[in-house]
């Protein structure tokens, strides 16, 4: 295997092997009533690799996994890294059509699935490509695993996330990215083998899989996995497992706060060293309430699936974080803030953020045009507006792109609009993001009925629910006789927001 100057390991699997050598008997993963030591973890990864080889998966081949959080998802992640295969983790909340698209588009040969998503999986993928995840527990003979050398620039992950075009974007990441990201995060947050990271984020998303779980294991720490997020279960797990690091989206922290406030409960979070909040804007009001209730600060963190990590607070930075700041540039991040004409902005001037981070995407799968449009001078164009102060702290001031971020999950307005317009009673539709106290932002639809149609909000909600994931469904729908048009002939969503924000605020 080859190594690069950027990272000390040629592959994600080589990085894990280093953790195993350092402390083979230490607990690596805790899941429900089971503890898996690092040496056991290595053995289970090798067993998973043998299962993959039996099914024809080797270097350059693609396979997918679709399940609630469980250790097998990490076994698949590292087994893919060992073989040089490509891994496609899928969120368990995806609908049948979304799984069908992702599986087909990625070119995956097989899909591992659990009982929770079995019905969806069977409707989305042909029977001969479906494998129950429980079969990975079968111990195969310890034969030599045939594998080819893995290079740091080999494709490794394909992550699907909502795009502004309505079709999910398929983001390809290589080994160098997935080794470099935990190194940068450990430097920024001071993550070590002494940390115990609690993971309640879906392992089907990069935030849960790589930023939380894999980063904890690469540092030689212990990773505690919960099947799903529930505020009480997470709060209890903090104490039961003596957790020190937790990653979440604002909605998670808001739900924990409200769960305790409504029941007048108190949990001792004094053992928590880092409570990292990312994925959507964190309101200062909610952050203050959380600190007041639990005597622990939430730490803002900024990254994208395409580019991680970007901004955050360094564990050894003695400077107070200015109000409203997202932090400093992460280790290894090259950052530019540009005006529309491409020149660099001055201090405290808003501009578009361009960045290359420790983990930057290799390309959008099967979309060279989107890949080319997203890059400028080897930097990724985020579509976000930021400014930098004279001390090197950054502030997110807006978004150029229209993506709605509900509780950390991306929603493409055009994807929801297409589904609404597919209803026979709808002539036109626009979906906009509105501020929400719990989720940060939610989708709201404005619909123009077809002539003679009396379609209701309830009927349209049911229609969207049947075709898209629950978090994408607009629960509030306004009806208009026409949509306002801008100078270019496109729907003027700014006018819609100004019109309906007072109604939403009053509701």
The confidence band for 402, taking pLDDT boundaries of 50, 70 and 90, is confident
Q: How far apart are CA 57 and CA 82, in angstroms?
A: 11
pLDDT at 2 over 90: no
Say which range, 132-136, 161-165, 449-453, has the weakest mean pLDDT: 161-165
Write down the mean pLDDT value for the chain. Answer: 93
Q: Compare 326 and 282 and report the one with higher pLDDT.
A: 326
The confidence band for 490, taking pLDDT boundaries of 50, 70 and 90, is low
As a whole-number percent, the residues of the chain with pLDDT over 70 amount to: 96
Mind listing the pLDDT tens digit for each residue in 216-236? 999 999 999 999 999 999 999
What residues does 130 pair with on adjacent strands? 111
Complete domains list, the chain, with CATH: 1-182 (3.40.50.12780), 404-506 (3.30.300.30)
Q: How far apart are CA 487 and CA 76, in angstroms?
A: 51
In this predicted structure, what is the pLDDT of residue 489? 53
Mind listing the pLDDT tens digit for each residue in 50-105? 999 999 999 999 999 999 999 999 999 999 999 999 999 999 999 999 999 999 99
Sequence-ordered list of residues with C-beta below 8 angstroms from that of 459, at least 6 positions apart, any chain: 423, 425
pLDDT at 488 over 50: no
In this predicted structure, what is the pLDDT of residue 4? 37
Say which range, 184-198, 448-462, 492-506, has the weakest mean pLDDT: 492-506
Residue 331 φ then ψ, to 5°: -55, 130
Residue 499 φ then ψ, to 5°: -75, -40
Mean pLDDT of 266-284: 89
In this predicted structure, what is the pLDDT of residue 254? 85
Mean pLDDT of 323-349: 95
Q: How far apart are CA 290 and CA 298, in angstroms?
A: 8
pLDDT at 3 over 50: no
Mind listing the pLDDT tens digit for each residue in 119-129? 999 999 999 99
Mean pLDDT of 345-357: 96
Burial-class residue 436 by CB neighbours within 10 Å (0-12, 13-18, 19+): middle
Mind listing the pLDDT tens digit for each residue in 430-486? 999 999 989 999 999 999 998 899 999 999 999 999 999 999 999 999 999 988 876
In this predicted structure, what is the pLDDT of residue 164? 54
Mind listing the pLDDT tens digit for each residue in 29-51? 999 999 999 999 999 999 999 99
Report the run of H or E that residue 206 belongs to, with start and end.
helix 206-206
């Amino acid at each position: 295997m080859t190594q690069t100057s950027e990272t000390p390991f040629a592959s994600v699997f080589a990085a894990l092997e280093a953790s195993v050598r350092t402390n083979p008997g230490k607990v690596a993963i805790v899941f429900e009533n089971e503890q898996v030591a690092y040496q056991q973890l290595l053995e289970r990864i090798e067993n998973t690799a043998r299962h993959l080889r039996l099914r024809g998966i080797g270097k350059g081949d693609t396979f997918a996994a679709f399940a609630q959080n469980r250790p097998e998802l990490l076994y698949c992640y590292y087994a893919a890294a060992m073989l040089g295969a490509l891994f496609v983790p899928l969120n368990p909340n995806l609908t049948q059509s979304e799984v069908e698209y992702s599986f087909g588009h990625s070119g995956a040969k097989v899909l591992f699935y659990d009982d929770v998503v079995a019905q969806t999986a069977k409707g989305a993928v042909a029977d001969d490509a479906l494998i129950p995840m429980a079969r990975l527990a079968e111990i195969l003979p310890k034969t030599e695993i045939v594998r080819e050398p893995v290079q740091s620039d080999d494709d490794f992950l394909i992550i699907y996330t909502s795009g502004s075009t309505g079709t999910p974007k398929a983001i390809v990441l290589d080994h160098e990215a997935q080794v470099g990201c935990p190194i940068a995060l450990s430097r920024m947050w001071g993550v070590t083998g002494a940390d115990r990271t609690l993971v309640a984020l879906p392992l089907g998303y990069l935030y849960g899989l790589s930023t939380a779980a894999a980063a904890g294991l690469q540092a030689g720490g212990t990773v505690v996995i919960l099947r799903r997020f529930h505020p009480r279960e997470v709060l209890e797990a903090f104490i039961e497992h003596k957790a020190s690091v937790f990653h979440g989206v604002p909605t998670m922290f808001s739900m924990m706060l409200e769960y305790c406030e409504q029941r007048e409960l108190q949990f001792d979070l004094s053992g928590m060293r880092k409570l990292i909040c990312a994925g959507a804007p964190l309101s200062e009001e909610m952050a203050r309430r959380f600190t007041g209730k639990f005597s622990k600060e939430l730490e803002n963190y900024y990254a994208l699936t395409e580019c991680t990590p970007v901004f955050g607070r360094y564990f050894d930075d003695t400077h107070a974080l200015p109000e409203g700041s997202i932090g400093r540039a992460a280790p290894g991040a090259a950052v530019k803030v540009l005006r529309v004409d491409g020149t660099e902005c001055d201090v405290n001037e808003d501009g578009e953020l361009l960045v290359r981070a420790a983990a930057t995407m290799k390309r959008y799968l099967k979309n060279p045009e989107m890949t080319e449009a997203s890059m400028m001078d080897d930097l990724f164009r985020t579509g976000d507006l930021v400014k930098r102060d004279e001390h090197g702290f950054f502030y997110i001031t807006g978004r150029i792109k229209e993506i709605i971020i509900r509780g950390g999950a991306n929603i493409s307005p055009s994807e929801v609009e297409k589904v609404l317009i597919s209803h026979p009673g709808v002539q036109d539709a626009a979906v906009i993001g509105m501020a929400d106290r719990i989720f940060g932002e939610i989708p709201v639809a404005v619909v123009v009925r077809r002539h003679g149609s009396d379609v209701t909000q309830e009927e349209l909600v049911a229609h969207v629910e049947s075709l898209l994931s629950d978090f994408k469904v607009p629960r509030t729908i306004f009806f208009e006789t026409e949509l306002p048009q801008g100078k270019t002939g496109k729907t003027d969503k700014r006018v819609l927001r100004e019109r309906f924000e007072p109604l939403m605020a009053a509701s």
